[in-house]
Amino acid sequence: MKTIQHWIDGRIAEGASGRYGVVTNPATGEQTGQVALANTAEVDRAVASAAEAFPSWSNSSLAQRTQVLFNYRELLNAHRDELASLITAEHGKVHSDALGEVARGLEIVELACGIPQLLKGETSTQVSNRVDVESIRQPLGVVAGITPFNFPAMVPLWMFPLAIACGNTFVLKPSEKDPSAALRLVELASEAGVPDGVVNLVHGDKEAVDRLLEHPDIAAVSFVGSTPIAEHVHRTASANGKRVQALGGAKNHMLVLPDANLDQAADAAVSAAYGSAGERCMAVSVVVAVDPIGDELVDKIAERARALRVGPGTDPASEMGPLITREHRDKVASYVPKAREQGAEVVVDGTELKVEGYENGFFIGVSLLDKVTPEMDAYQDEIFGPVLSVVRVPSYEEGLKLINSSRWGNGTAIFTRDGGAARRFKLEVQAGMVGVNVPIPVPVGYHSFGGWKDSLFGDHHIYGTDGIHFYTRGKVTTTRWPDPSDGGIDLGFPSNS
C-alpha cells in the first residue's frame, strides 16, 4: 500500500503529523493507499519555501518562465495517459473522461505559455507637458489553491501554471480523496525546470485549509468546491486580508423549447447529466421541458439512459464509472425514493445497480425523475451524482423564471432552433456560463470560467483574462523629465496641461 506524501521545496517531504487519510479505488472499494495529512507546521514549511523562492522567481525573465512552461506542456502531453490512469484509479471516472480532463488542463498551460503577450502593460505619452503614464501588472507573492476531488488534475492546472507564469509562487492543497494525480503534476513541473519552492504541495483536511486561509504570507486563495465551503473560504480568507476567488456549487438547468431537435436534446441531456457519474459542477441536473414536448423528451432520455453501460473506469466499454466514496453513493441514492415519496415519477431507477465482479465498488446506475417540482429535495439540493430531474413548464417565460429563481448561477443551456429566443435567453438568464445547443458550456482557456450568485464568491472568474488579473495587481507610474529651464514651487492641484 503506497503512501502519498507532500512536495515541499522541490522534493518529497514525508508527513510529520502522524495523521493519514484513506485512499481507495472506487471501483473495488479497496484501500489502495494512504495520504499524509499536514498539520499547521507543515503548511508553514510549504509557505516559507514559496516565500523564499518568490524574489528570484518574480524577477526572472518572461522568456525564462515561458521556456519552463513550454517544457511543462510537453511533459504533460507525454504523460497524459499516466495521469489519466492515476485519476481513474482514485477517482473512478472512465479512462477516456480522465484523458479529456487532462486535455482541458493542458489548455490553460498553453495559455500560460503566452504570458508575455498577456502581461503587456499600457503607456500613454505626453498626457501633460513632457509627462508619460505607464500601467503595469505585477505578481502578488505567495498564492494558494485548494482543489476538489472531481477534477484532480484539471482544476490544479487551472490555477498554478497561470499563477507562476505571472511571477507568483504557489502552495497547492488538492483533495485528499484522490491526491496522486496532483502530486504527479507537481513532480513533472519540477522536471520541466520550475525552481525549487516555486510550486509546493501539501495534502490535508480542515487543519491545513484553515491555516492556508489565515497564513499572513499568503496573498491570495483560489478555491473550487461546494457552496458551503466556498462561503467559508471567502469569508475567512477575506477577513485575513487576502484576495479570494471561491467557486461553489451548482444546479445547472437545460431549457428545451418545443422547436428543438429532441433527439439532439436527449443526447445532450444524457451526456451532460451522467458523464463522470454526475460529479461535475457543470453537469446538467435539471431539464426544463416547455409544453407540449415533455412526454416525448422524457421517453427519449429514458431510452438512452437505460442503454448506458456502467462499470470500472479501466474497462474501455464502460461509459460511466463509480462514485468517489460509499458514503456519497448512499447519499445520492437516497434522493430517488425520497423524490417518489414527494410526488415525482421515477422513470429510471438506477439505485439497485450491481456490477458483476465489482460488488464492493461504489457503483450506482443512472436515475431519471419526471414531474419534479421546485419544492422537492431532488430539485433543491446539489445531488452531485447521476440523478436527472425533469421539470415541466408551460412557456419560455416560466422556464426562464424558474432558472433565474435558483440560488445558483453556474452554467445553463437552451436548446432551440430559434435564433431570437436563443439571443434573448443568453441576455436574460442569470448565470455565468451559457450554452446555446451546448449542454456543458465550459469556456475555452482564453475565456474565463465562473458562475453567478451562490456559485461564485469573489470578484474574479478563474483562468483567462480574469485569471491574469486575479494573480496580478496593477501599478501606475507617472514620469516627467523636466527641461533645464523648469523650476519653481507650485502648490496648485496638478493639471494636465
Kindly state the cell numbers that stand for 406.
Answer: 435558483
The residue among 74, 25, 366, 374 whose CA lies nearest residue 177 is: 25
Q: Exactly one of 69, 164, 221, 281 is catalytic; name it.
A: 281
Residues in a beta bridge with 24: 31
Q: What is the Cα–Cα distance from 411 to 413, expressed in whole angstroms?
A: 7
d(CA 281, CA 440): 10
- 113 catalytic? Reply is no
User: What is the distance between the alpha carbons of residues 96 and 88, in angstroms, rounded to a whole number?
Assistant: 9
The three cell numbers locating residue 147: 482543489
Q: Are 54 and 195 in contact (CB under 8 A)?
A: no
What's the rounded Cα separation, in Å, for the pair 97 and 276? 7
CA dist., res. 418 & res. 235, Å (int):
42
Nearest Cα neighbor of 475 from 128, 123, 117 is 123
3-state SS string over the chain? CEEECEEECCEEECCCCCCEEEEEECCCCEEEEEEECCCHHHHHHHHHHHHHHHHHHHCCCHHHHHHHHHHHHHHHHHCHHHHHHHHHHHCCCCHHHHHHHHHHHHHHHHHHHCHHHHCCCEEEEEEECCEEEEEEEEECCEEEEECCCCCCCHHHHHHHHHHHHCCCEEEEECCCCCCHHHHHHHHHHHHHCCCCCCEEECCCCHHHHHHHHHCCCEEEEEEECCHHHHHHHHHHHHHCCCEEEEECCCCEEEEECCCCCHHHHHHHHHHHHHHHHHCCCCCEEEEEEECCCHHHHHHHHHHHHHCCCECCCCCCCCCECCCCCHHHHHHHHHHHHHHHHCCCEEEECCCCCCCCCCCCCCCCCCEEEECCCCCCHHHHCCCCCCEEEEEEECCHHHHHHHHHCCCEECEEEEECCCHHHHHHHHHHCCCCEEEECCCCCCCCCCCCECCEECCEEECCCECHHHHHHHCEEEEEEEEECCCCCCCCCCCCCCCCC
Active site members: 281
